[in-house]
Amino acid sequence: MKILIKNGLIVTMNSTFEVLNGDILTDGKMIAKIGQDLTDPADEIFDAKDLIIIPGLVQAHVHLCQALFRNAADDLSLLDWLKKKVWPLEGKHTAQSLRISARMGLAEMIKAGTTTILDMGTVHHQDVIFEEMDRSGIRGYSGKAMMDDGDIPDSLRETTKESLYESQRLCSVWHGYDDQRINYAFAPRFALSCTEKLLRETAELARDKNTLYHSHASENKRETELVKQRFGCGNITLFEKLNAVGKNLCLAHCIWVSDDEINLMKEFEVNVLHCPTANLKLGSGIAPVPEYLEQGILTALGSDGAPCNNNMDIFREMRLAALIQKPKYGPESMPSRDVLAMATINGARVLNLDQMTGSIECGKCADLTFIKNDQVHSIPYENIYSKLVYSAGSTDVEDVMINGKWVYKDRHLLYENERLLAEQAKNEIKRFYEN
């Protein structure tokens, strides 16, 4: 289906950061033309007057399985948060509750203009997350969380063999699904929940399958100390020892990282998944993102899970990612254009999807987010990036297209009944607290 989008304010995020008033022609999944006064025949003509069109936003670290646990785990630091709340709840997931959780997370993210994600899945029932990603139309990766060691609940513990086997099975089913729209990322949860064997063999697997290795690292001071006690080194050094560092390594948080480790990250082109709200809410700290950017380390943004955020709203992360660095690095650090880049083209680069998405360019997939322009809370403006990063919010998103297909239009999800979903979510969560 060809769609001709007319008269938008197009923020391309291409290599010259072009911003233009104009039209976009989609041709099936792709962007076929960008220009002024296009008159090509199309199956649909969409009027984008009064709308800003940006590349569909990228959230590079989320936990769909936790959306159901929103507002249920406040005021805790990471290890308590995991042990007392999140792991026991995750361990109680049925396929049905996981399905509802994934639907909630996807609905929230798509409504907020997110079109591409990297999800950390959960140990069991992982196919359900892929099924719901497929149904929603979203682009991205998930992978079951791998947990075969450490102080973890029995409900989530697997053997090394089971973990590797199930990950490979899932990869064979889902990696490259629907013409590369859905992909598999191998996801050892974090060093403290995994054996060295698992961490090492997963690295080989991820390289063999030419996909991402997704984990958490150096999020919390205590966690980083425990890693040092157990492995004799920091997280990044450990990954290097295990031959896991490389362009496909995507590490969430990276707050407590030494200068030597930053050098390793630079040398091996490791990617940082920055989650500013979660880092604050769990009291973990503030990641040295301006230093990463200075070093040329690719950094993307994510909401992390609903119980440590308590949203999955990329606009909130953009705003916060800009703000929290300024007291330390100066008000001129983290200019709004760079922050929007983290959530678009650089997010796509981190996920190795920049040939497909992350900017509005001919030949890329039509992943587009449409934002209301003339809102009392966001006018007037001199700087379009400032407006998008600081003033706009998820609720300014009017329409979202992924892969040339509308998934959210006129503020309605086209694949989901939100009211029914909310009821189902409330019913599911009752079961968690009643048992």
Among 323, 354, 362, 405, binds a second copy (CB under 8 A): 323
d(C-alpha 408, C-alpha 429), whole Å: 26
The reply on whether position 393 binds a second copy by CB under 8 A is: yes
d(C-alpha 108, C-alpha 114), whole Å: 9
Instruction: Find how far residue 215's CA is from the centre of its chain.
Output: 13
Q: Which CB, 64 or 194, lies closer to a second copy?
A: 64
Q: Which CB, 14 or 277, lies closer to a second copy?
A: 277
The reply on whether position 49 binds a second copy by CB under 8 A is: no
Bridge partners for 320 per DSSP: none
The reply on whether position 375 binds a second copy by CB under 8 A is: yes
The reply on whether position 426 binds a second copy by CB under 8 A is: yes
Q: Which CB, 246 or 290, lies closer to a second copy?
A: 290
The reply on whether position 410 binds a second copy by CB under 8 A is: no
In a 13 Å sphere around the CA of 78, the CA atoms on its Cβ side amount to 21
Q: Which CB, 20 or 421, lies closer to a second copy?
A: 421
Among 37, 154, 259, 382, binds a second copy (CB under 8 A): 382
Which residues have a Cβ under 8 Å from the Cβ of 433 and sit 6 or more positions away? none
Q: In the numeric block, which tokens belong to residue 124?
A: 């069991």
Region class of 115: left (phi > 0), else alpha (psi between -120 and 50), else beta = alpha
Structural contact between residues 304 and 251, judged by C-beta atoms closer than 8 angstroms = no
Which amino acid is it at 382?
A: E
Q: E strand or H helix at 19, and its extent?
A: strand 19-27
Q: Taking Cα atoms as reference points, which of 338, 389, 397, 346 lies closest to residue 368?
A: 397
Q: Which CB, 122 or 325, lies closer to a second copy?
A: 325
Residues 94-153 that bind a second copy (CB under 8 A): 104, 107-108, 111-112
The reply on whether position 310 binds a second copy by CB under 8 A is: yes
Among 249, 270, 320, 400, binds a second copy (CB under 8 A): 320
The reply on whether position 434 binds a second copy by CB under 8 A is: no
Among 14, 211, 237, 277, binds a second copy (CB under 8 A): 277
**Contact code string over 67-96 relative to a second copy, x by CB under 8 A:** -x-xxx-xxxx---x---------------
The reply on whether position 386 binds a second copy by CB under 8 A is: yes
d(C-alpha 125, C-alpha 72), whole Å: 22
> What are the C-alpha distances in Å from 75 to residues 62, 373, 396?
20, 37, 30
> What are the C-alpha distances in Å from 219 to residues 138, 239, 285, 310?
27, 15, 8, 18
The site for a second copy, by CB under 8 A, has a size of 69
Residues in touch with a second copy (CB under 8 A):
68, 70-72, 74-77, 81, 104, 107-108, 111-112, 277, 279-286, 309-313, 316, 319-320, 322-324, 326-327, 329-333, 335-336, 374-383, 386-387, 390-391, 393-395, 418-419, 421-423, 425-426, 429, 433
